[in-house]
Structure 1
Amino acid sequence: MTLGAEEELHLIDLESLHLSGRAPQLLSKLPGEFYSAEIQRTTVETNTAVVRTLSELRAELLRLRKGIIDIADPAGLGIAAVGTAPRSKFADFELTTTGRYGRMQEQYRVLVDEQLICGTQIHVGVSDRELAVDIAQRVSRDLPALLALSASSPFWNGHDTGYSSIRTLVWQRWPSAGATGPMGSAAEYDELLDDLIASGVIADAKMAYFDVRPSSHAPTLELRVCDACPLVDDAVLIAGLFRASVRSAELDVEAGRTYRPLPAPLHRAAIWQAARGGLAGELLEGAQHPRPTPAATAVRNLVGRLRPQLEELGDWDDVNELVEQVLARGNSADRQRAAFAERGQLDDVMRLVIDETQGLAGGPTPSGPALRGYPARAGDEAIGLGSQPRPAYRAITEFFRESAPSTIATRQKRRDEWAEQNGVAFRVGGVDRPFEVDLVPRVITDYEWSELSAGLGQRARAIELFLRDVYSDARVLNDGIIPADQVHTVPGWRDEASRLPADAVRAPIIGFDLVRNEFGGWRVLEDNVRNPSGIAYGVAARELMDAVMPDLPRPDGLVDPARAFAELRETLAAGGRDGTVVLLTSGRESAAWYEHRRLADEADLVLAEAKDLDMRDGRVVLRDSGEQVATLYLRLDGELADLTGSDGRMIGAEIIDIAAAGAVFLANAPGNGVADDKALYCYVPELIAYYLKERPLLESVPTYRTSDAAERRIVLERVGELVTKPVDGYGGNGVLIGPSASAAAVASRRAEIADNPGNWVAQEVVALSSHPTLSGGRLEPRHVDLRVFAFLTGTGEGDVRLADLALTRMAGPGSLVVNSSRGGGAKDTWIVDNGRKAETGG
């Protein structure tokens, strides 16, 4: 049960932070007993001496890393022990010039050219080869957890791959990678190697790149699935667990316990799942019928199962402590993504992995105290790994940490009083409800805001082009991009919209609902094109915070949301000609009456109902003053065409006639509902490609159209796993989240979809990000979404901009439905734009 390790280390130019192919020069100055070349000139491999304890292995790994650092640093080089160097690109590959490696490149071509990857191999002494072959198969069920702990390669070719270990997928392309399949004896294993070599597919036994194999050059069993680990302690943890797994299998062999191997496809699936999610996702757990299990639970289960062997080997205390540390701080993939999220710079990630590789075995000392008692999770936006506040939230969390519960309670009382005094409310079912704002703000960094601006600007332009086209030439239908019956039969289609001027902006104000998954990626959940609300509420949230929490530290570059009022006015005025701008409301009974009044007051709009308008000489005018109306901003609860006066006059129809003649501009025109119908949401990526000849910059949530027979079958089988929604629903009404619904509710929804398939869509459940929220005087995570508003004056790149505000909505306790009418609330959203420090006083 001796231990040893081989580490593959990337060489990094410390100035450019790119890979450096200077391994031969370094190796000429290092002892060949412990250091060797790899297939790529950008990598050095270390080989530890044989040791017996985890402490000795830690010391060996640190010693060998220091040996390289001492030679590399004067040459301006550093080392990074990660599966892939975050800034590496395919063009960085440089072949080490030996005959063996030259032959491999000639034979395997692209497989060799993409080998900019590094792993950690752990050796456990098993002197009996027959026993080693048997054990190699028995430990296979523990490999996914070990891979998840080591995962350190989320970035590949300069992009986030969506995997925690993309190295695993690159490595598994080799013809001799993966599991061996059942092996009855060492002779059978050796026969397999001989046949592989005789086939010409591999050149020698060293190319048997199995997940676990008897070493080709030492009396050991070798683990080969793991990524290189920047923190030495992560490698030590994996070594301790692997040795215990080997010992457990050895005891089973000695006791004559039978072993039933996992079918090869299931083993491959388990390895893939670990590579995909690492510690932030789920692992497949179970000896015969693996099922998804939260990664942290699966890892703790493994440690618990191996405890007798860990105690026997004297490793229990070390492993138990190390596993809790890595589960708290995350694996390297988690830490790399957290570093990238701050500024969107791969250089930051490169510096992180170099510093960790060249630093202390357990990593750097935390920058501040952990937020103890907060149930941290992978997808929390404010509290990161190890319960450490993320940089943008350090001052905020420190403020609440130092605030007494009585102080918080006083602030919450003042919040409620302020909202009531200022009339900030929304209407549900004819009843006014208070607009509840949590006192912990949400921060959107300047990097995140720039990414959203580009992606949502693109999406808004495509939607506007679609609306103009579908109500005129209908090229998108004639070219087969969208089936005509998917457009003309949706509830949002309005025949009268075809009469409006072809060049008029139809959706000058678009609202987008976004969510973030647990890996930090933004997804567009819904498009709101008819009359999206929330602008006034976003401003009110900031005013409330300024009144109640004036001493809460603000970041530099904080954008003033009140700027949105002027932006709204400019956008609405740009569409009209002579006259005033009117916000046409359904009146005091409207659910958004507060917003209507606030927008009119602050954006210098005339607030009017149908009774306040008149039609004279082919113009819309204000009845009392006779002033001509240039723009009608429609904020109606119903359709304009159905609008009548108190005398029964068809006011809406007359307005449409005037708009068709170009004498009044209808902002958020009739018929826009065709673009935010949830069944049409699926086509937006295709609209971006069709109209803009671009790829979507922001992804949508995977969505199924139940009107399609093939997709309907999938949905009917998976109603309990999906989110199902009515195509014309709003405010969370009619939404069923399958995993949290009762069997009866799932059965009922399945019947509803089968009876009226065109009325529904289904979406995959997104593991929404969370945010600290005050509850009972303490912070707890709640799921959040984000509503962002785009203002359009045309279809060019310079004709769209995001409003200087966003509205964060949060779900109720334990809920995924993020809507105030369903028990949630809102947060002040702090958009940071450091380019505006001068104008905002930041």
Structure 2
Amino acid sequence: MTAELTLGAEEELHLIDRRSGKLAARAPQILSRLPGESYSAELQRTTVETNTDVVRTLDELRSELLRLRRGVIAAAEAEGVGIAAVGTAPRSALADFELTGTGRYARMQEQYRLLVDEQLICGLQVHVGVRDRDLAVDIMQRISRRLPVLLALSTSSPYWNEQDTGYASIRSIIWQRWPSAGATGPLASAAEYDALLGDLISSGVIADAKMAYFDVRPSAHAPTLELRVCDGCPLVDDAILIAGLFRAAVRAAELDIEAGRPYVHEAVPVHRAAMWQAARGGLSGRLVDGGEHPRPVPAADAVRALVAELRPQLEELGDFEQVRELATTVLARGSSADRQRSAFAERGRLDDVVDLVIRETHGPAGGEVPGAPVLPRYRTRAGDEAVGPGSIPRPAYREVLERFRGMPESRVDDLRAARDRWATGHGLTYPAGGSARPLEIDLLPRILSGHEWTRLEAGLVQRARALERFLEDVYGEQRVIADGVLSADRVFGASGWREEGLRIPTGTVRAPIIGFDLVRNEFGAWRVLGDTAQAPSGAAVALAARDALDAVLPELPRPAGLLAPDGVLPLLHQTLAAGAKPGALALLSPGPSSASWYEHRRLAEGAHLLLVHPDELEVDEDLEVRSRSTGEPIGALYLRLDTDLLDLVDEKGRPLGERLLAAAAAGRVFLANAPGAGLADDKALYRAVPQLIRYYLDEHPLLESVPTYRTQDTDERLAVLERAGELVTKPVDGHGGAGVLIGPFASAAAVATRRADIAANPERWVAQEVVQLSSLPTFWGARLEPRHVDLRVFVHVRGTAEGDCVLAPLALTRVAPHGSLVVHAAPGGTVKDTWIVADGGAAGGSGD
């Protein structure tokens, strides 16, 4: 070997108060107890930096990092302080910044202002010995394509300012704001590098050579090449993996230089894009592949490809077996960012994340040995709600999955048969090939924690209030149009607009029951995918899923605080009664021919509503609505029709719908989910809901929507036609997954046909960005496999004031078919019982 190829590292460590979980500005006190040759101050007083001795092997580097950490831990203990080797401390806030008292740092703060104050970040720097600076400058450019993988492996900063940033490494995004950060561009020699640095200093933009914050740089004080892109790594073994790969990459570049192999410089904007992509998704996302014309690839594939590519150099250095094992381990357990988000998802507490990063930083190099049972054959994926990295069940699911682990196939078959008998016996079937098939209810439930449900409740109640105010306004004063929030053509041209909605009396609640479809992405964030105000279905199926699981698997451990879904039935009765005129409460159904007949029967029976067909109603001369069979007056009709109300006729062909609308207009009957409520369902108006929340409530939307394009807009249509193979396209009036095309999973012919359809009738379509849906273990035969899921929930509306909207205590989880990304409610789909744990309940417990 020509190069030295020695190893060294600098670790920046956050100091965290063990009681509050906040950053602790006690670096001076702690450093006073530590030797200056190995420990030093940083820009902020909440950080200590360690500097290892020069070593030659990965094992020696591991020992050095552990030794230096132990020193800080011991010195900090007297201060009640722990350390965390992460890019950002989970509870960090800008107010925590305290400058280290030196003239150099004070000058930096004076010059860079907020840029300095936001530097509550910590990184890992790795040094590899290189024989001369000319060689170092050549090598640092040749290895730039490999840096995004190293950043992805280190990602440990999803939280900043006490919130999830959406990035796996917000530290690197903050770091890139320095004027001297990033790539240098092509340089032919060390002299050119020094000249570049001199120009930056003479410009007055940076003060000295120490502020050369490039991704990789020749060290200012040692014969080494320094890697600077990585977050701090709480597990020492992750740092060792990065050091091993970096050294091998340096060696590979050196061999290329010696062999005279040419190198094509990577364009700086492409490099910046690749680094941003790594910061955004880490190991759970996609990385740019680093080819001549870069393309996104799964991060795990990029890691494996790098290890394979560097295998000759890793073997030469004696590191291959260790690096391969460490890479396999980190891909199985996920990055620190993944683990932090998993810790937060359990209870919604940043304190749990703080405890995790301190525990890992203080602990053994490879982390704690997992004690939970492992599902070795389960295909783990980013975003799985029940099974985490390493095929380890998440805490809320451990007891439930333990009941199924190792269960004989014959027992699973017996349970599935019992479930099907239950569904058939209770009429929960759908037509298929001339016969009736039972609805498939998966044996493994979904579990929603109390903190998640509380967060969803706040966002959905807010959304329901805004939608009801919109319906009241748009069929009344139409201020939203007069004020320019929505154009008239956008409202009156929408598929859900109904002129007859103008006849409903002012002050009537138009959508007492609103359904919302939600999805969770691979980072655990919830998105509202759609709103259904005309005839939201699924509540009775959610009730049936609970009944079926209780009947078939009563021994499955239920968590403490589990909400009873049948609370929706009295809530439905109360909601209808709040708007009813004198008389009975009734549900109007087309009858047994309806695909939702089971639901109509179940809701009517449980909520004590009359279940009536069109032929069973009459409207007398005084516009009183009565039951034909009993003569009883009806004060509220919950409309669950398959057609528009005005299309409804009785058995003699008389316009029953018109008469019912006249009765409602005269104030004789309350029509729940009245004509025109479906305006809120229109997918072209869906993207305006955040605007409506701000307009009507003067609030910031608490739940995000999925980015949506209106193809009726010329510019957006052109963009959609160009990207149809990357987007989800769907009809504005579609339901149940009908007409949905997921571009990345569709054939070229299907995408071409959709482009033609959009071009011919742009007003009929919308497009949305693809959301990488979360998944849950679902039985495929006797085997569990990850399937994509969504969630339907219901808000009951009695008005638009605070307290008038209530989230029903049940939810329906719908499961995508085997091998599909499309989740829909079409007959034949699979559903899951959804266990909602009240806030404060013990998910994973054994409550009844």
Provide the TM-score with structure 2 as the length reference: 0.98
Distance 2:196 2:444 in 1: 62
Aligned match of 2:752 in 747, 750, 754?
Answer: 747
Distance 1:599 1:816 in 2: 31
AA aligned to 1:425 is: T
Q: Is the 8 A contact 2:812 2:834 kept in 1?
A: yes
- After superposition, the C-alpha distances for 1:659-679 in whole angstroms (9 at most, x for unaligned) are 111111000000111111111
AA aligned to 1:42 is: T
- After superposition, the C-alpha distances for 1:88-121 in whole angstroms (9 at most, x for unaligned) are 0001000000011011111111111111000000
Matching residue of 2:789: 784
1:351-750 equivalence runs, <5 A? 351-426=355-430, 432-616=436-620, 617-750=622-755
Q: How far apart are residue 600 of structure 1 and its match? A: 1.1
Aligned match of 1:36 in 32, 36, 40?
Answer: 40
Q: How far apart are residue 430 of structure 1 and its match? A: 9.3
Matching residue of 2:316: 312
Q: Is the 8 A contact 1:442 1:828 kept in 2?
A: yes
Distance 1:202 1:668 in 2: 64
Q: Is the 8 A contact 1:770 1:784 kept in 2?
A: yes
Matching residue of 1:255: 259
CA 414–484 in structure 1, closer or farther in 2 if over 3 Å, else same: same
Q: How far apart are residue 739 of structure 1 and its match? A: 1.0
**SS at structure 2 position matched to 1:524:** strand
**SS at structure 2 position matched to 1:152:** coil
Verify: 1:56 aligned to 2:57, yes or no: no
AA aligned to 2:398 is: R
Q: Is the 8 A contact 2:286 2:297 kept in 1?
A: yes
Distance 2:697 2:258 in 1: 67
Q: How far apart are residue 156 of structure 1 and its match? A: 0.8
Verify: 1:325 aligned to 2:339, yes or no: no
Q: How far apart are residue 280 of structure 1 and its match? A: 0.3
- After superposition, the C-alpha distances for 1:673-714 in whole angstroms (9 at most, x for unaligned) are 111111110100000000000111111111100111111011
Q: How far apart are residue 823 of structure 1 and its match? A: 5.2
Q: How far apart are residue 431 of structure 1 and its match? A: 7.0
Distance 1:218 1:797 in 2: 64
AA aligned to 1:714 is: A
Matching residue of 1:773: 778
Distance 1:835 1:174 in 2: 44
AA aligned to 1:161 is: T
Verify: 1:812 aligned to 2:805, yes or no: no
**SS at structure 2 position matched to 1:443:** strand
- After superposition, the C-alpha distances for 1:10-37 in whole angstroms (9 at most, x for unaligned) are 0011011110111011111100000000
Q: Is the 8 A contact 1:641 1:652 kept in 2?
A: yes
Q: Is the 8 A contact 1:81 1:357 kept in 2?
A: yes
**SS at structure 2 position matched to 1:797:** coil
Provide the TM-score with structure 1 as the length reference: 0.98
Distance 2:54 2:553 in 1: 60
AA aligned to 2:329 is: Q
- After superposition, the C-alpha distances for 1:205-236 in whole angstroms (9 at most, x for unaligned) are 11100000000011100000000000000011
**SS at structure 2 position matched to 1:809:** strand
Distance 1:618 1:640 in 2: 16
AA aligned to 1:581 is: L
Distance 1:631 1:416 in 2: 36
Q: How far apart are residue 834 of structure 1 and its match? A: 4.5
**SS at structure 1 position matched to 2:20:** coil
Aligned match of 1:154 in 155, 158, 164?
Answer: 158
Q: Is the 8 A contact 1:573 1:581 kept in 2?
A: yes
Verify: 1:824 aligned to 2:829, yes or no: yes
CA 836–358 in structure 1, closer or farther in 2 if over 3 Å, else same: closer
Verify: 1:169 aligned to 2:173, yes or no: yes
AA aligned to 1:267 is: H
**SS at structure 1 position matched to 2:725:** helix
Q: Is the 8 A contact 1:812 1:822 kept in 2?
A: no
CA 834–197 in structure 1, closer or farther in 2 if over 3 Å, else same: closer
CA 575–772 in structure 1, closer or farther in 2 if over 3 Å, else same: same
Matching residue of 2:208: 204
CA 394–43 in structure 1, closer or farther in 2 if over 3 Å, else same: same
Q: How far apart are residue 433 of structure 1 and its match? A: 4.2
CA 429–529 in structure 1, closer or farther in 2 if over 3 Å, else same: farther
Give structure 1 stretches of 5+ with no counterpart.
Answer: none
**SS at structure 1 position matched to 2:826:** helix
AA aligned to 1:220 is: T
AA aligned to 1:672 is: A
AA aligned to 2:756 is: A
Q: Is the 8 A contact 1:430 1:589 kept in 2?
A: no
Matching residue of 2:804: 799
Distance 1:627 1:768 in 2: 49
Q: Is the 8 A contact 2:514 2:795 kept in 1?
A: yes
**SS at structure 1 position matched to 2:643:** coil
1:105-116 equivalence runs, <5 A? 105-116=109-120
Q: How far apart are residue 199 of structure 1 and its match? A: 1.1
Structure 1 runs of 4+ aligned residues shifted over 3 Å read 426-433, 834-837
Q: Is the 8 A contact 2:424 2:437 kept in 1?
A: no
CA 427–690 in structure 1, closer or farther in 2 if over 3 Å, else same: farther
Q: Is the 8 A contact 1:428 1:821 kept in 2?
A: no
Verify: 1:337 aligned to 2:341, yes or no: yes
Distance 1:787 1:433 in 2: 23
Q: Is the 8 A contact 2:516 2:531 kept in 1?
A: yes
Q: How far apart are residue 764 of structure 1 and its match? A: 0.8
AA aligned to 1:811 is: A
Q: How far apart are residue 390 of structure 1 and its match? A: 0.4
Instruction: Report how many residues are paired.
Output: 840
CA 732–381 in structure 1, closer or farther in 2 if over 3 Å, else same: same
- After superposition, the C-alpha distances for 1:165-221 in whole angstroms (9 at most, x for unaligned) are 000111000010001110001111111111111111111111100000000011100
Q: Is the 8 A contact 2:560 2:841 kept in 1?
A: no
Distance 2:91 2:179 in 1: 27
Larger CA deviation: 337-346 vs 815-824 = 815-824
AA aligned to 1:273 is: Q
**SS at structure 2 position matched to 1:279:** helix
Matching residue of 1:14: 18
Verify: 1:98 aligned to 2:97, yes or no: no
* RMSD across aligned positions (CA): 1.3
Q: How far apart are residue 241 of structure 1 and its match? A: 0.4
CA 44–249 in structure 1, closer or farther in 2 if over 3 Å, else same: same
Distance 2:508 2:578 in 1: 11
Distance 2:274 2:247 in 1: 21
Q: Is the 8 A contact 2:146 2:290 kept in 1?
A: no
Q: Is the 8 A contact 1:811 1:823 kept in 2?
A: no
AA aligned to 1:773 is: T
Give structure 2 stretches of 5+ with no counterpart.
Answer: none
Distance 1:427 1:656 in 2: 33
AA aligned to 2:573 is: R
